[in-house]
Amino acid sequence: MSGEPPALRPAEPRDAAGIHQIEELSFASPWSLESFLSLIRSSGVEVWVAEGTGGGIWGYSVWWTVAGEAELANLAVHPEHRGTGLGGRLLDAALVGMAERGGRVAFLEVRESNAEARALYESREFQVIATRPAYYTRPVEDALIMSKALSGNVDSPNGKQM
């Protein structure tokens, strides 16, 4: 990543194509463009993007909080911008948002073989709490369910504990 770091902001319908492109580059069973448009327009779902200075979408996250439980449903960074810390920035912003919206615990699912994503989540103190056998289909693989307590354990962007 060169120049200014990308801005993190809530997604708008005009971002759906860029999000979907990253989705297709990142996952064997990508969500559809229509799914992203629906999520962006949904009042209970947070879809955030990392927008580069030239206006392109470099990464995104999808998450929600219900009754004190938060779920990170999806997070991906464009292959050209991986290894830059952008995934961590998106994850940290999601964790702050989850806590601000009353989340006490965050959950996610990750492919057992996705060592890079697991390392990111573990760096933010997520722990494996269960396995979902044969959850993924292309290829068939188990999902690890990970969780993290949020209350009082999330640093806000200004460095203060929440």
Q: Distance (Å, rounded) from C-alpha 150 to C-alpha 70?
A: 9
Q: Distance (Å, rounded) from C-alpha 6 to C-alpha 161?
A: 24
Based on the residue annotation, tell me whether 60 is a catalytic residue of this protein: no
Catalytic residue among 46, 109, 112, 122: 109
For residues 147 and 139, is the Cβ–Cβ distance under 8 A?
no
Q: Distance (Å, rounded) from C-alpha 105 to C-alpha 2?
A: 35
- Local structure of 47: helix, strand or coil: strand
| Residue 17 exposure: Cα atoms within 13 Å on the Cβ side | 3
Q: Distance (Å, rounded) from C-alpha 93 to C-alpha 101?
A: 12
Catalytic residue among 23, 60, 71, 121: 121
Q: Return the active site residues.
A: 109, 121
